[in-house]
Amino acid sequence: MTSFVHVEYPSSHPGVARFENAVAAAGQMRKGFDTTKGLAAMLLAAMVAALVVVADQLVDTWADGHLLAGWVVLWVVGFAAIALLADTARRLAARSIKALDDWSRGVARKRADERLWELARKDERVMADLQAARTRQEA
**Closest residue by Cα to residue 62 from 45, 75, 74:** 74
Find the helix or strand (DSSP H, E) in which 87 lies: helix 67-122
**Closest residue by Cα to residue 129 from 111, 117, 114:** 117
Is pTM beyond 0.75? Reply is no
User: d(Cα 30, Cα 33) in Å, to the nearest integer?
Assistant: 5
User: d(Cα 120, Cα 114) in Å, to the nearest integer?
Assistant: 10
Q: What share of the chain is helix, strand, coil (3-state, %, to 5)?
A: 85, 0, 15
- Write out pLDDT tens, residues 73-132: 888 888 998 888 899 999 999 999 999 999 999 999 999 999 999 999 999 998 999 899
